[in-house]
Chains A and B, each alone.
Chain A
Amino acid sequence: DVKVTQSSRYLVKRTGEKVFLECVQDMDHENMFWYRQDPGLGLRLIYFSYDVKMKEKGDIPEGYSVSREKKERFSLILESASTNQTSMYLCASSRPDRYEQYFGPGTRLTVT
């Protein structure tokens, strides 16, 4: 069965902290994605990666960076967390020959 896991379901951080959100998939997928989900705005793509060490900016990359050192792991980094980064963060993965994405359970991040 397809499995995408995220390191935390809930996270509370202070303004200015460096935050790491981890995502792991066990399906050997090449593509991995980070979205944030906010009420009334739907899902917005932050970054995606189509291979190890490769990354592409999505629609809203400002304030975020990513790391993909291993195929199964894709990390989202908030260099200096701000209150407007309080959101639900969703990770997804997909095969290179298919578009359907498989999602993790999400991390609800609160920045105070």
Chain B
Amino acid sequence: GEDVEQSLFLSVREGDSSVINCTYTDSSSTYLYWYKQEPGAGLQLLTYIFSNMDMKQDQRLTVLLNKKDKHLSLRIADTQTGDSAIYFCAENKNSGYALNFGKGTSLLVTP
């Protein structure tokens, strides 16, 4: 199948904003998700956006959705060292219950 695309690495300084980008494949996806995975752990659901929204804000997290370009981004304000992790975007597949995941973006936050 087609791939959800993400850049592999991002490095930011503590206190700066991080922006993680994702290009998804299915224009009919109803929901788009961001997950966080800390080393050696499972995936934790961070936030999601419904496809009829352009933006969603949740504390330090801002999700932007551009349906025309099938582009999703996650902005983390005031990034902390505890935000260092792998971030996955995911779309619901056109049929069935499964999600289609990107390969993940490793975020490194340096002091």
Which A residues are within 8 Å of any B CB, using their own CB?
4, 31, 33, 40-43, 45, 48, 50, 56, 58-59, 90, 92, 94, 96, 99-106, 108
How far apart are the CA atoms of A42 and B4 in the complex, in Å? 10
- Sample of 8 further A-B pairs with CB below 8 A, known A43-B101, A90-B43, A99-B31: A40-B103, A48-B96, A48-B98, A50-B97, A56-B96, A58-B98, A59-B1, A102-B45
Question: What 0/1 readout, one digit per residue, does chain B (21-47) give for beta carbons within 8 Å of chain A?
Answer: 000000000110101000011111100
Partner of A100 from B40, B48, B96, B102 at Cβ < 8 Å: B48
Give A91's nearest chain B residue, CB to CB. B42
- The proximity string for B residues 67-102 relative to A, scoring 1 for CB distances below 8 Å and 0 otherwise, is 000000000000000000000100010001111011
A48 and B92 CA atoms in complex are apart in Å by: 14
Cβ distance B6 to chain A, nearest Cβ, rounded Å:
9
Contact of A42 among B40, B88, B96 (CB under 8 A): B88
Contacts of B35 in A (CB 8 A): 103
CB–CB A42/B98 < 8 A: no
Flag if B97 contacts A100 (CB, 8 Å): no
Q: How far is the CA of A4 from the CA of B35 in the complex (A)?
A: 16
Residues of A within 8 A of B96 (CB): 48, 56
Q: Can you pick out 25 interface pairs between chain A and chain B where the beta carbons lie within 8 Å of each other?
A: A33-B98, A40-B103, A42-B88, A42-B101, A42-B102, A42-B104, A43-B101, A48-B96, A58-B98, A59-B1, A90-B42, A90-B43, A92-B43, A99-B97, A99-B99, A100-B31, A101-B43, A101-B99, A102-B45, A103-B42, A103-B43, A103-B44, A105-B41, A106-B40, A106-B42
Provide the bound-state CA to CA distance between A48 and B42, in Å.
Answer: 17
**Which of A45, A48, A56, A104 gathers the greatest number of chain B CB atoms within 10 Å?**
A45
The residues of A that contact B104 with a CB separation of less than 8 Å are 42
Within the assembled complex, what's the spacing in Å between the Cα atoms of A105 and B37?
10
Alpha-carbon distance between A50 and B42 when the two chains are bound, in angstroms: 21
